[in-house]
Each structure stands twice: as C-alpha cells, then as structure tokens.
Chain A
C-alpha cells in the first residue's frame, strides 16, 4: 500500500470530520456494489462481488466426507481466504499470509460460531447424510483479486451470495448396508438442494478516524484509522460476531455506539445485497 503524505492525511481526516469523504460519500455510505453469481461453474456455488475497486470471488465446494467423532450428526464447514498477487505486488510469495490468515479467522468467527459448532450460521445438521458415517464437507474459499480497502465486508457478502447460489446434490443412500461398513451413496446429478441463506449475516466494518466512524473505507482511509470494529449482523438484527482491530483503546460506550450504528447500516446493506442477488438470479 502506498504511503500518504501528511497533507493528504490531514485532508482525509478533515473530510471525515466534515462528513464529506474524498470521493464525495458521506460517512455511512457504501460504494457501489455489483454482484455476479455462477462465475466458477465447477464449484457448487460461486459469486463475484465488486465494492468500488475491491473485487473478490467466493466459491463453495461440497465433498463427501466423514463427520468428526465429537459431532457425528453434523457436517463440516471450513473457510479459507487467499490474496492473489494480482491485487498488489506485495502479495506475492508469502507476503499475503498474514492478511489471508487474519481474514480467514475473522470470517470463521463470524460465520461459523464457536468451537462446539453452536451458533453457526449454516445449520450443520442439515449437512449430514448418514449419521456418524457420511456427511458433506463444505469448503468455502475466498480469493481477493483487487484490493482497495474493506476486504472483510466484500468477502462476507461474496460468501453470502455464493451460498445463495449453492446447490448441494441430493444423495440417495442405499439402505441395504450393514452398520459397520461404509454405506453406499449415490450422488445425484440432477437434483439439488438450495441453501436457505436468509439468516446468513453480513459484516459491516466501522473504521474509527479521529472522533468519527466511517463505513466501507478505501485503502487510503484505512491507513488513517485508529481502530476498526467489524460486526456481523443478520437480517433479524442479531449480532453473530465481533472483531476489533487496531491498537488504539476504545471506550466501552464508544463500542456500544459503533455496534448500534453497524446494526442500522447493515440492514440497508442487507436489503441492497438481497436485491442484487435477486436480479442476478433473474438475469440467469
């Protein structure tokens, strides 16, 4: 990321204080969002989301696997993010590992819930095929193609859209298998089960610059932040996860305020995303 001079930083801080950012947006406005589904035909579901100049692709792949011994009645979901060097030359080689890990962990925390699987957004028990023997493993992969700030929000929305585009094939289990052997499963090519993504949350990152918070920061604005709070909120207004980045300490009242602002903004963003999903599906 290119550095900024003192004069430019001053200008950005002034803009945020006066509610007129460098590209004319208000503090709580998102950049224009564009959504496309089905970009990776080989995957079970995929989406590409463009948030201003930030572009990310998310894909969902489902494979049959064995459930873990601790939870024989639940499927498994894992989320990984990779930053492509096409986004910035510094991402080549191992340069992107730190950022990728940070994004993956934040997404896992917001979407997958705790270690016990409780509170996960996708109903894991719907992924089970045969109790204790066969389940669906969902691999959700995110790829950052172009980066201009606010990667977490873009990735979360891409994952939401990809999940809405995902179809898990119907499985017919042959009933004649004995209890100890591996049951035979017949994966159908024709019938698919769609996910219900109405409860998948979306992440809104609030970046604090000076005394005010902004939504959807560009990479220049992000360089000015003292701290950032990412809140994942679903349609019912419930908070599904929270991450704070940045070294500056925040007063607890400030955090509560940021959470309520995030809830308010997320509802607008959710409806915008839903309408984009609907129009994308209609266009296909």
Chain B
C-alpha cells in the first residue's frame, strides 16, 4: 500500500506541464498588469494601494481587459443556463428550496416547473397543496439556472421534459471545478443503458436510463415489498452503474477534469484489465488510471506541437 502511494506520487509529478504553473497565485500576491488604466478587475481581485492583489488562491485568467482569479476548490459559481443537479431541502409556499453546493440555497418556483399532466395553466391553490406529490424533501432534481433575482437569490427552472426528479441511481459529489461547462451535460450511454448527468455544481448523477415522458404515473401509493423486489434495477445495469460511479470517484480523487469520454475510458479500462468493481477504489487502479492519463496528455501535447 505504501509503495503504491509512492509510485502514485511519482506519476502525479510526471503529469506536470510547465505552462499551467506559471499563472498560479496565492492570497495577497500582486498580479502583474501591463496597462495601468482600463483594466477591469474581476472576481478574486481587489485594489490595494493602487496594485491589483489576489484575494483567492488560484490561477490568474486574462480575457481582453478583464483580469480575474479562478479559484480551484471553491464552491460552485452559478451562471445562467448551467445545468445542475440539486437536492430538495424544504418545501415552502409556492417554491422548493434546493441545496446545490453554492453559498445559498437555490429556489425552484412552482411556476417554473412543468405540471405532471403537461398542461400549461395557472397554478391554483390545489397545485400548491399538491407540491409534495411532485417533489418531496430529499428528492434529487435536475434543473437549469434561470438567474439571480433582485434579492440576490438564485432561481432555477425545470421546464423541459428531460429535467425533473431523478430516481433509480446514485448521486456523487465531486469538487465543482472538475466539471467544465460543455454543450452537453446529459449523456445517455446507450451501450450501458445508463444516464449520466454531470451537473455544473459538482453533483453527478449516475442512474438507470429513464425514457423521457414516462413520469406521469407518480400518483400511486408506495408499492408493497414484493412488488418492489421485482422493481429493482437489473443486475447488469447495476454493474455498469457501479463501474461508472467508481470511475467518477477515482477521477475526482485524482483531481482530473471529468468528461464523459474520460469516464467511459476509465470504466472500460477497468473491464479490460479485469479489475473487480470494488477494486477500482484500490490503490493499483488509481496508479493505472493516473498513468493512462499521463500518457494521454503526453500524446495530446505531442500532437499539438506536431501540428504547428
């Protein structure tokens, strides 16, 4: 176990390209700016004695005239249009409060939700009383960010059929900075029949595939125990779900950015090396994944420098 830790550290060191380290800053470091005027100071910076000083530990990013510090392990910073996964904490008059790994809880208004029967109409008092039948406490929900209101609270919306309650799967929490904003966050992995949703806030959902539009029969009572047993996720799908979930755990522990391709590659690497699902969380697989990633990045660098 200890030898494996050492080899893991060595592999980690070999991952270090020199370019990224140049822009790192810690709190109270001066950020070098060339133009003294017209520099816009963004997040993570402040003005002290005429110098631009970092208030966060992170990487300095410059976009035209904007200078800001991107923090690494901080909480999620919402932007309009992000797809996120959250958990319901409280049911309040006309809205639900969700926890989304932000400094405040987010609000999902009843009017921002599609009603179960799909009709567009005004929400009545009966709807308000039936809020619990749509989402309960502790439910996991997928939604997207609508925006900040004037009282600085964050509002969400779930207006399309693909958003809504997530069931039959597991929720994983990873640091938010490992999920980059892409065009697609919903991934239906056909070869496994598994849904993978990478929430921008670091909540990742891996679960059984649910056909969109099938969520109209929610009004039943809880099924009896025997009915439930037949209702369990089939073993094959469950194996795929666990493998993908472990791949996400390994990648987030190693600190690699999460992309669908990487997750699938890692899961398939574990299958081809005959690693048992639970052994994916063991030290050998960590080292194997780290080495594979190091090789992949070296290849990428070679291609970039070769194509120039």
Inter-chain contacts of A5 with B (CB < 8 A): 87-88, 136, 138-140, 165-167
Q: Please tell me which stretch of A12-20, A54-62, A63-71, A226-234 contacts chain B, meaning at least 4 of its Cβ atoms lie within 8 angstroms of it.
A: A12-20
**Number of A-B residue pairs at CB separation under 8 A:** 92
Inter-chain contacts of B279 with A (CB < 8 A): 24
Min CB–CB distance A49 → chain B (angstroms): 13
Identify which of A2, A10, A24, A29 contacts B242 (C-beta below 8 A): A24
Is B281 touching A4 in the complex (CB atoms < 8 A)? no
Is B281 touching A32 in the complex (CB atoms < 8 A)? yes
Instruction: Bits for B160-174, please: 1 = Cβ < 8 Å to A, else 0.
Output: 000001111111000
Let me know if A3 is at the binding interface, CB within 8 A.
Answer: yes
Let me know if A11 is at the binding interface, CB within 8 A.
Answer: yes
Instruction: Bits for B86-128, please: 1 = Cβ < 8 Å to A, else 0.
Output: 0110000000000000000000000000000000000000000
Is A18 touching B238 in the complex (CB atoms < 8 A)? yes
Is A23 touching B282 in the complex (CB atoms < 8 A)? no
Let me know if A133 is at the binding interface, CB within 8 A.
Answer: no
Is A26 touching B278 in the complex (CB atoms < 8 A)? yes
Min CB–CB distance B253 → chain A (angstroms): 10
Inter-chain contacts of A18 with B (CB < 8 A): 232, 235, 238
With A5-B87, A6-B136, A7-B140 as given contacts, are A283 and B281 in contact (CB-CB < 8 Å)? Answer: no
Instruction: Bits for B212-251, please: 1 = Cβ < 8 Å to A, else 0.
Output: 0000000000000000110111010011001101100100
Instruction: Bits for B1-34, please: 1 = Cβ < 8 Å to A, else 0.
Output: 1100000000000000000000000000000000
Inter-chain contacts of A32 with B (CB < 8 A): 281-283
Is B278 touching A10 in the complex (CB atoms < 8 A)? no
Identify which of B169, B228, B276, B283 contacts A24 (C-beta below 8 A): B276
Is A17 touching B229 in the complex (CB atoms < 8 A)? yes
Q: Can you offer 11 A-B residue contacts whose CB atoms are under 8 A?
A: A2-B87, A5-B167, A7-B140, A7-B207, A8-B169, A10-B167, A10-B232, A24-B246, A24-B276, A24-B279, A32-B283
Taking Cβ atoms with an 8 Å cutoff, the residues of A that contact B are 2-8, 10-15, 17-18, 20-26, 29, 31-32, 34, 279, 283
Let me know if B277 is at the binding interface, CB within 8 A.
Answer: yes
Inter-chain contacts of A25 with B (CB < 8 A): 278
B282's nearest neighbour on chain A, judged by CB, is A32
With A14-B232, A17-B229 as given contacts, are A23 and B165 in contact (CB-CB < 8 Å)? Answer: no
Is B137 touching A3 in the complex (CB atoms < 8 A)? yes
In Å, the complex CA distance between A8 and B241 comes to 13
Is A20 touching B168 in the complex (CB atoms < 8 A)? no
Is B169 touching A11 in the complex (CB atoms < 8 A)? yes
Is A20 touching B232 in the complex (CB atoms < 8 A)? no
A33's nearest neighbour on chain B, judged by CB, is B1
In Å, the complex CA distance between A182 and B1 comes to 50
B173's nearest neighbour on chain A, judged by CB, is A2
Is B140 touching A20 in the complex (CB atoms < 8 A)? no
Min CB–CB distance B6 → chain A (angstroms): 12
Give the contacts of B128-153 with A (CB-CB under 8 A).
136-140
Inter-chain contacts of A283 with B (CB < 8 A): 2
Is A24 touching B167 in the complex (CB atoms < 8 A)? no
Question: Which of B165, B238, B243, B245 has the largest count of A CB atoms less than 10 A from its CB?
Answer: B238
A276's nearest neighbour on chain B, judged by CB, is B1
Question: Which of B232, B246, B276 has the largest count of A CB atoms less than 10 A from its CB?
Answer: B232
Let me know if B204 is at the binding interface, CB within 8 A.
Answer: no
Since A5-B139, A6-B136, A22-B242 are in contact, a sample of 9 more A-B pairs with Cβ atoms closer than 8 Å, ordered by chain A residue number, is: A5-B87, A7-B169, A7-B207, A8-B169, A11-B167, A12-B170, A23-B281, A24-B243, A32-B281
Let me know if B158 is at the binding interface, CB within 8 A.
Answer: no
Min CB–CB distance A133 → chain B (angstroms): 46
Inter-chain contacts of B283 with A (CB < 8 A): 32
Inter-chain contacts of A4 with B (CB < 8 A): 138
Inter-chain contacts of B282 with A (CB < 8 A): 32
Let me know if B280 is at the binding interface, CB within 8 A.
Answer: yes
Inter-chain contacts of B168 with A (CB < 8 A): 7, 10-11
A31's nearest neighbour on chain B, judged by CB, is B281
Inter-chain contacts of B138 with A (CB < 8 A): 2-6
Is A10 touching B238 in the complex (CB atoms < 8 A)? no
In Å, the complex CA distance between A2 and B98 comes to 13
Inter-chain contacts of B277 with A (CB < 8 A): 20, 23-24
Is B170 touching A22 in the complex (CB atoms < 8 A)? yes
B232's nearest neighbour on chain A, judged by CB, is A14
B228's nearest neighbour on chain A, judged by CB, is A10
Is B245 touching A7 in the complex (CB atoms < 8 A)? no
Instruction: Bits for B265-293, please: 1 = Cβ < 8 Å to A, else 0.
Output: 00000000000111111110000000000
Min CB–CB distance B47 → chain A (angstroms): 34
Identify which of B137, B165, B238, B246 contacts A7 (C-beta below 8 A): B165
Inter-chain contacts of B207 with A (CB < 8 A): 7, 11
B139's nearest neighbour on chain A, judged by CB, is A5
